[in-house]
Amino acid sequence: MAIATSTAAPRLSRRLGFWSSIGFVIGMTIGSGIFRTPAVVAARTGDARVTLAVWLIGGIVTMCGALSIAELAAITTDTGGIYAYLRESWGRGSAFVFAWAELVLISSAGLAGIAAVFGEYTLRSLGYDAAAYPHAAQYIAAGAIAATTIANVVGVRVGAAVTGLSTVAKFSALAFLVTASTVLGARAGGSTTHFVASAAPAAARAFGLAFISVLWAYDGFADLPFIAGEVVNAERTVPRAIITGTLLIIGIYLAANVAYLYVLPFSQVVQSPLIAADTMQAIFGQWGVSFVAVAVMLSTLGAVNSHMLGIPRIFFAAADDGIFFRRLAKVHPRYHTPYVSIILIGVMGIAFELLGTFEQFADTFILTVWPFYGLAVAGLYRMRSRTPRTTGYRVPGYPIVPGIFIAACVYLVGSALVDDPRWTTITFAIVLAGVPVYSMFFASRQREP
User: Domains (ranges, CATH) in the chain?
Assistant: 18-387+394-440 (1.20.1740.10)
- State how far the Cα of 150 lies from the Cα of 240, in Å rounded to an integer: 30
What are the φ/ψ torsions at residue 267 (nearest 5 degrees)? -60, -30
> Which comes out higher in pLDDT, residue 396 or 15?
396
Is residue 159's pLDDT more than 60?
no
pLDDT of residue 7: 38
pLDDT digits (tens, 9 = 90+) for 76-86: 777 678 888 99
Cis omega before residue 399 (within 30°)? yes
- State how far the Cα of 162 lies from the Cα of 384, in Å rounded to an integer: 37
- State how far the Cα of 108 lies from the Cα of 21, in Å rounded to an integer: 23
pLDDT digits (tens, 9 = 90+) for 31-66: 778 988 999 999 999 899 999 999 999 999 999 999
**What's this model's pTM, rounded to 2 decimal places?**
0.84
pLDDT of residue 13: 56
Helix (H) or strand (E) holding 111: helix 107-125
> Which comes out higher in pLDDT, residue 445 or 29?
29
- What percent of the chain stands above pLDDT 90? 38
User: CA 315, 319, 325, 330 torsion: positive or negative?
Assistant: positive
In the predicted model, what is the mean pLDDT of residues 404-426? Answer: 91
pLDDT digits (tens, 9 = 90+) for 162-184: 666 667 777 888 889 999 999 99
